[in-house]
Structure 1
Amino acid sequence: MPDVRVLVLDDHEVVRRGICDILDRADGVEVVAEAATVAQAIRRVDATRPDVVLSDLRLPDGTGLDVIAHVRATHPDTHIVVLTSYDDDDAKAAARTAGADAFVAKTAGSAEVLKAVRDAASGREHGQHIDVQEDAAIAALTPTERKIVTAVGDGMSNKEIADQLGIAEKTVKNHVTSILAKMGLQRRTQVVAWATQRRAQSFRR
């Protein structure tokens, strides 16, 4: 079976080199190009036609969305894995809409990065943590409400959530009421159960 050919896009050289080292050491994976900007990535994607582009979203001359749009328009067989932070819900939603295949956290270990790349290349869905953005049942939630869903799933009280987000406890309570209505639930414990089930599904993948 041929190697999975990967282009790594990140403007931070230390991060980019670290990812390339992880991939180059792995069996069945080959880094065919690196890029630090949108312009470099587009040129090198066209030149190398990788199987997977592993891309940051924040870049000095644009965003990873520009690269995703180019890849989708010109190389539809190339898969895209986006490097993301846990608080990038809006950016992740935009990347998913643009055509990203999967996401991997910047804090992920080497095994997780490799799994994300291999899963994307093989067409398998990749999941690494509870990601409230990706569930159609809660698509109507605001970014703040998504953070609260995750916090509730972690067993945090309204006061703890308020302290974490820097908002009033009453505001958290109002958000929880809104979340229950939007998700079609009646009790806070149902949100906890939903989050627990979602996390378990993610770990089984």
Structure 2
Amino acid sequence: MNNVRVLVLDDHEVVRRGICDILDRADGIEVVAEAGTVAQAVRRADAVRPDVVLSDLRLPDGTGLELIAHVRRTLPDAHIVVLTSYDDDEARSAARTAGADMFLPKTAGSQQVVEAVRLAATGKEHGQHIRVRDDEVLGRLTPMERRVVELVGQGLANREIGDELGIAEKTVKNHVTSVLSKMGLQRRTQVVAWATRRHAASFRG
């Protein structure tokens, strides 16, 4: 059986090296790349094509959500474990919505981290598993809100969305506010991260 190939993203070198050492010592796991920034992680993920990405959320050049969105778009068979010191409902919701498979606080023990990587690689359900079916997320939105999410994901500004839908810019802003609330998100960029891993047709009907 092949080793589970892991990419580790954390901006704190001591923490990152510690995580890599823990995983490298575990049977059946191999750290194939590590990164300290989102940009590095994107390049290295594309180069090594890991089975599992273990990522922090807050990074100097962005967030782990951006890496999650990239991995979901370019490496659909990869699995993602979020390991972060920000263990709160907002962080969990953002990671879940972006497409992470599992969420662990950095207070987790070494063996928990190892088991999370192993379980994520198999795709099996687990107590820390946080994936929510997309239809559950979409079910919270009205048809107009789904369309707004699609256009936000395409990078359109509120004025452009208004022109596309034939509604006022202020109305678009109200829809975006409602979408954030229903999806449990705080920022527009989190909507983009979620939308980028969805085919546009999935938002319709």
Q: 1:27 to 1:72 in 2, by over 3 A?
A: same
Tell me the secondary structure at the aligned position of residue 77 of structure 1: coil
In structure 1, list runs of 5 or more residues that go unmatched.
Answer: 141-205
Shift of 1:84: 2.6
Report the number of matched residues.
Answer: 134
> Cα 1:58–1:20, aligned 2, differ >3 Å: closer, same or farther?
same
Q: Does 1:61 align with 2:96?
A: no
> What's the TM-score, normalizing by structure 1?
0.61
- The residue type equivalent to 1:120 in the other structure is A
SS of structure 1 residue aligned to 2:23: helix
Indicate the structure (1 or 2) with the bigger Cα radius of gyration: 1
In the other structure, the counterpart of 1:74 is 74
Query: Does the CA contact (< 8 Å) of 1:82 and 1:103 recur in 2?
Result: yes
SS at structure 2 position matched to 1:2: coil
Please name the residue that 1:173 is paired with. Answer: none
Per-residue Cα deviation, 1:153-197 (whole angstroms, up to 9, x for no partner)? xxxxxxxxxxxxxxxxxxxxxxxxxxxxxxxxxxxxxxxxxxxxx
Report deviation, 1:49. Answer: 0.2
CA gap 1:126/1:25 in 2 versus in 1, 3 angstroms: same
Residue 128 of structure 1 and its aligned partner are, at CA, apart by 4.8
Is the 1:69–1:98 contact (alpha carbons within 8 Å) kept by the matching residues of 2?
Answer: yes
Residues 102-141 of structure 1 show CA distances to partners (whole Å, capped at 9, x for unaligned) of 0112011111000000000000123359x9xx8x9xxx9x
CA RMSD of the aligned region, Å?
A: 2.1
So what's the TM-score if we normalise by structure 2?
0.61
Higher relative contact order (CA 8 A, sep 6+): 2
Whole-angstrom distance in 1 between the partners of 2:84 and 2:126: 14
Aligned to 1:175: none
